[in-house]
Amino acid sequence: MSTSDIQRLLRKNICELQPYSSARHEFHGEASIYLDANENPHPYPYNRYPDPFQRQLKVCLSEKKRIAVDRIFLGNGSDEVIDLLIRAFCDPQKDSIVTLIPSYGMYEVAAQVNDVDCIKVPLADRFQLNPDALLRAVIPDRTKIAFLCSPNNPTGNLLDRTAVRTVLENFSGIVVIDEAYIDFASAPSMVGFQDEYPHLVVMQTLSKAWGAAGIRLGIAFASPQIVNVLSRIKIPYNISQLTQEYALRLLADTVTMERNLRSILEEREMLRTALSASPYNFNVYPSDANYLLVDVGNAEEYYRRLIAQGIVVRNRSNIALCEGCLRITVGTPEENKTLLHALHNPPVSK
Ligand SMILES: Cc1ncc(COP(=O)(O)O)c(C=O)c1O
Tell whether ligand 1 has an atom less than 6 A from the beta carbon of residue 204: no
Tell whether ligand 1 has an atom less than 6 A from the beta carbon of residue 75: no
User: What is the pLDDT tens value at each position of the chain, 350 positions in all?
Assistant: 777 889 999 999 999 999 998 888 888 888 999 999 999 999 999 999 999 999 999 999 999 999 999 999 999 999 999 999 999 999 999 999 999 999 999 999 999 999 999 999 999 999 999 999 999 999 999 999 999 999 999 999 999 999 999 999 999 999 999 999 999 999 999 998 988 999 999 999 999 999 999 999 999 999 999 999 999 999 999 999 999 999 999 999 999 999 999 999 999 999 999 999 999 999 999 999 999 999 999 999 999 999 999 999 999 999 999 999 999 999 999 999 999 999 987 655 55
Q: Can you list the domains of the chain with their CATH numbers?
A: 3-22+51-252 (3.40.640.10), 255-344 (3.90.1150.10)
Q: Ligand 1 atom 2: the closest Cα is on which residue? A: 180
pLDDT tens string 327-340 = 999 999 999 999 99
Q: Determine the Cα–Cα distance for residues 266 and 190; give it in Å rounded to an integer.
A: 25
Q: Which atom in ligand 1 lies closest to the alpha carbon of residue 206?
A: 10
CB-based contacts of 260: which residues, under 8 Å, 6+ apart?
Answer: 211
DSSP strand pairing (325-329 vs 314-315): antiparallel
pLDDT tens string 124-144 = 999 999 999 999 999 999 999
Residue 16 CA: distances (Å) to CA of 7, 90, 211, 297:
11, 15, 39, 54
Tell whether ligand 1 has an atom less than 6 A from the beta carbon of residue 133: no
CA 331 to chain centroid: 20
Up-side HSE of residue 218: CA atoms within 13 Å toward CB? 20
> What spacing in Å lies between the alpha carbon of 93 and ligand 1's midpoint?
26
Nearest CA-CA partner of 115 in 137, 86, 142: 86
CB-based contacts of 132: which residues, under 8 Å, 6+ apart?
Answer: 166
Question: Is the torsion defined by CA of 135, 116, 141, 228 positive or negative?
Answer: negative
Residue 334 CA: distances (Å) to CA of 71, 159, 289, 330:
40, 31, 20, 11
CB-based contacts of 244: which residues, under 8 Å, 6+ apart?
Answer: 50, 51, 54, 56, 57
Tell whether ligand 1 has an atom less than 6 A from the beta carbon of residue 315: no
Exposed, middle or buried, 7 (CB in 10 Å: 0-12/13-18/19+)?
Answer: exposed
Asked if 153 and 108 touch (Cβ cutoff 8 Å), the reply is no
Q: Ligand 1 atom 7: the closest Cα is on which residue? A: 78
Q: Is the bond preceding residue 151 a cis peptide, omega within 30 degrees?
A: yes
